[in-house]
Structures are given as structure tokens and as C-alpha cells.
Amino acid sequence: MITLAACAFCSLLVWLVLLGGHGMFWCTDTRLDPDDALARGGAEPPGGWPAVTVIVPARDEAEMLPHSLPSLLGQHYPGSLRVVLVDDASDDGTGDVARALGRHPDAQVPLTVITSQPRPAGWVGKVWALEQGMRTVPPDVDWLLFTDADIAHGPDSVTRLVSHATSRGLDLTSLMAVLRTQNRWERIIIPAFVYFFAQLYPFRRANRPDARTSAAAGGCVLLRRAALERAGGLAAISGAVIDDCSLASAVKRTGGRTWLGLADRGPRGVRSVRPYPQLADLWKMVARSAYTQLRHSPALLAGTVVGLIFAYLIPPLAAVAGLAGLAAGAGGGAAAVAAAAGISAWVVMTITYLPMVRYYRQPLPVVLTLPAVAVLYVLMTLDSARAHRRGHGAAWKGRAYSASDSGGVNSGGVAGT
């Protein structure tokens, strides 16, 4: 009991530091300005609205495209806008579905569909698809929007992104799309997924030009073309299994300014339309890149597992054990300390999780599931390491990548090629 009490007290100190510092990771107010005058048509950027090309890498996305692509083809953008979809060796008629949607009477934005060429050695699928889309962009287009095939955009999404980027002098502007929370497992796991990412890469810290932390969400990245070229182009991240934060790091490392925020909920926001019907679907989504995120390091794996257990499991265990000891008249002062420290740490943990639960509009009792979800994440991470040791590596849609492929952070970009 003495050891448990000491661990609970240390866990409480950690949570107090996380509450008051660490970039205020738990806040959910880093978003686009809802009252932006440029985005609402009251003005325009100096020099007018720049030309933008949207590039959508798509591999076996025929089912998703009818729910996402029309939102891009119906954008209300004051400047020149076109969409390029790269059919990345799909087997389900993705290209044909995209072309049909491009011919729909409601499609206001020109669409070009290209078929991916064989992937060269050293390139991962999604980055190679983006590179091929890049090669179709005319020289006079200064801005690129990389967005996934399962991401739906509000009607003024491009306008708001461009307005935000140009008015603040940003080179990379990214939004963490609102993920689906319609079934039981989505409601329990998705808020924690975004919460853990924000804890690992606090948005406010990543958005500071002088901070070493870099982050982006691959589902929606608006990028200044000149900044990408200065960073070495997509070839600089050609082998990145998890490309988004690798891209943000490359841009920031070469003097670019980056910004990451949460997408707004509602019709003006950016959201994922991909469903995760079963726990197994969410498990695959996390496990496919968790060990890559840890750089395939056993030491980082061990530290992550211990850290998750210490931060998320010790508080409830200490609270229950301490209260049980007090009820049984055993443990004495150690039981009291364990109970008090465990309850206090659990309360602080809950306070930090509450804004994310509210952001996803979930019932308040969901905050109490965080320790259990942390256990699931431990198991998913261990499963990711197990798959790697068996030679499977990171895998997505029939493609597997070895440890030699570079990576970044698991961003929550739930569609990829």
C-alpha cells in the first residue's frame, strides 16, 4: 500500500503539471475564426484570392467518394479552384465513381482524375499519389490542399482555410477532421484518440514558430507551394509511412510557419465520413502505425506502456485500493494517502478529458472510460509491435511497409493509401 500511495502521489503531480502546462493540450479552442471577414466575403486577401488545387489520393474509395467528393466539387471559393483525384491502383472502380461525380450537374469545380503509375522504390503509396497529383498542377497555382478521400468539407472550407493562412502568414494550415462517433465503439474510442494525439503534440505548442514540436493532420492540409518546394518537395518525405507530421516538420525546419487546429462541428466543418463498425476496425486504424510512431524502438515502446499505465491506471487503482483498505480498517495512513491521491489524480485527469468529450458531444459519463481506453491503447500498441516483429510492419489497404520506411506521428488521418 505504501508503494501504491507513493505512485498515486507522483501520478497526481504529473497530472497537475499536465493541467497547468504542456501547451494546455486539453483545450479544444484552437480552431478557425468563425467570424473571419475574408471568409465571409467582406474582403479579399491582398492581391486577390489565390489559385488553389485540391489533391485527393484515393485507393479503393468507391464507397466513400459519394459522401465526400461532392463537398469539394461544390465549394464556394471566390478564386480559381480545381480538384485532382489520383486513383491509386484501386480495384473497386474508384476512378469511374469519381468521374461520374465530376459530371454531376451540381459539380461546380473542375475535376481531373488521373491513374497512378507504379510506385517507385522508397515511396509510400499516399505520398507517391500526392506527388503525381502535384505534377499536374500549373505553375501559376500557389496553394495546394491535400485532403483524404473520406473527408467531407463544408461549402466554404477552402475559403476559410485560405483566409486563415493568408491573413496570418502561414505556410501550412491543417485541420483535425471531426471523426465519426455514431456507434458505441466510436463514441468511446474516438474522443480519446484525438485527446491522446493532442497530449503528444499540443496544438498551441506546435503552432509556435519557435517550438520544436511540429504537427499536422493528413486529412486536411493547406500548403503554400513555395514552402513545399523550399522543404525539398514531397521527395523529402517520400518514405514517411505517417506523412502529415513529417510534412509539417519539413516545412517548419526550413523556416515555414505551420498551424494545426480542430475542425468546427456542424455544416461549415471538415469531417470524416469513414465508419468504424467494430472494435476491430478501430484497432487496425491505431495499430497499423503505432509502432512506427515509436520509431520501432523497444525502449520507446516500454516507456510508452509504463507511462500510460502510470498516468491512467494508477489513479483509479489507488483510489479503489485505498478506499477498500480504509473500509476494511487496513493500510492506515498509506491507504488514506493512496485514496486521496488516486481520487485527486483521477479528478484532474477527468477535467482534462472533459473538453474533448464535450467537443464530440458525448454523454458526460464517457469521461470515466478514459482509463479503460488507455488500456486498449496499450494493447493496440503492443499488437503493432508484435506485427512488426513478425515482419508485417505497418499495413493499410493491402500494402505493408518495413521498418526502413520513415515515419512520423499517428495523426488521425484515417484514410490513406
What confidence tens digit (pLDDT) does each residue in 89-130 have? 899 999 999 999 999 998 999 999 999 999 999 899 899 999
Q: Of 14-23, 29-38, 48-57, 390-399, which range is least confident?
A: 390-399
pLDDT category at 45 given cuts 50, 70, 90 is confident
In angstroms, rounded to a whole number, what is the distance separating the alpha carbons of residues 414 and 180? 11
pLDDT category at 285 given cuts 50, 70, 90 is confident
DSSP-derived pairing of the beta strands 258-262 and 220-224: unpaired
pLDDT at 410 over 50: no
Mean pLDDT, residues 2-17 taken together: 93
pLDDT at 415 over 70: no
User: What local confidence, expressed as pLDDT, does residue 393 receive?
Assistant: 57
Mean pLDDT, residues 341-355 taken together: 96
pLDDT at 212 over 60: yes
Other C-beta atoms within 10 Å of 346: how many? 25
pLDDT category at 403 given cuts 50, 70, 90 is very low
- Best mean pLDDT range from 51-55, 285-289, 388-392, 407-411: 51-55
Mean pLDDT, residues 24-43 taken together: 80
**Which residue did the predictor score with more confidence, 151 or 245?**
151
| Cβ-Cβ contacts under 8 Å for 82 (sequence gap 6 or more) | 52, 53, 54, 109, 110, 111, 112
In angstroms, rounded to a whole number, what is the distance separating the alpha carbons of residues 370 and 347? 12
User: What local confidence, expressed as pLDDT, does residue 404 receive?
Assistant: 47
**Which residue did the predictor score with more confidence, 175 or 242?**
175
pLDDT category at 183 given cuts 50, 70, 90 is very high
User: What local confidence, expressed as pLDDT, does residue 392 receive?
Assistant: 62
pLDDT at 309 over 50: yes
pLDDT at 417 over 50: no
Average pLDDT of the chain, as a whole number = 89
All three cell numbers of 215: 504537427
56 close to 158: Cβ distance less than 8 angstroms: no
pLDDT at 413 over 50: no
At 27, is the secondary structure helix, strand, or coil? Answer: coil
Nearest to 408, CA basis, from 390, 416, 276, 98? 416
pLDDT at 412 over 60: no
Mean pLDDT, residues 150-156 taken together: 96
116 close to 127: Cβ distance less than 8 angstroms: no
pLDDT category at 2 given cuts 50, 70, 90 is confident
Q: What is the CA radius of gyration of the chain?
A: 22
Query: Which residue shows C-alpha cell 511497409?
Result: 401
At 86, is the secondary structure helix, strand, or coil? Answer: strand
pLDDT at 381 over 50: yes
Query: Which residue shows C-alpha cell 489533391?
Result: 55
pLDDT at 411 over 70: no
Please write the tens of the pLDDT for every residue from 252-270. Answer: 999 999 999 999 998 889 9
Other C-beta atoms within 10 Å of 226: how many? 12
Q: Of 71-85, 149-163, 207-221, 281-295, which range is least confident?
A: 281-295
CA distances for 411 relative to 136, 292, 387, angstroms = 27, 12, 20
In angstroms, rounded to a whole number, what is the distance separating the alpha carbons of residues 91 and 74? 27
SS (H, E, C) 34-54: CCCCCCCCCCCCCCCCCCEEE
User: What local confidence, expressed as pLDDT, does residue 306 receive?
Assistant: 92
pLDDT category at 37 given cuts 50, 70, 90 is low
Other C-beta atoms within 10 Å of 168: how many? 12
User: What local confidence, expressed as pLDDT, does residue 398 receive?
Assistant: 58
In angstroms, rounded to a whole number, what is the distance separating the alpha carbons of residues 213 and 205? 7
pLDDT at 405 over 90: no
User: What local confidence, expressed as pLDDT, does residue 40 receive?
Assistant: 66
pLDDT at 400 over 90: no
Paired strand residues for 58: 87
User: What local confidence, expressed as pLDDT, does residue 399 receive?
Assistant: 60
Nearest to 16, CA basis, from 394, 384, 349, 388? 349
What proportion of the chain, given as a percentage, has pLDDT over 90?
75
User: What local confidence, expressed as pLDDT, does residue 287 receive?
Assistant: 86
- The structure's pTM equals 0.90
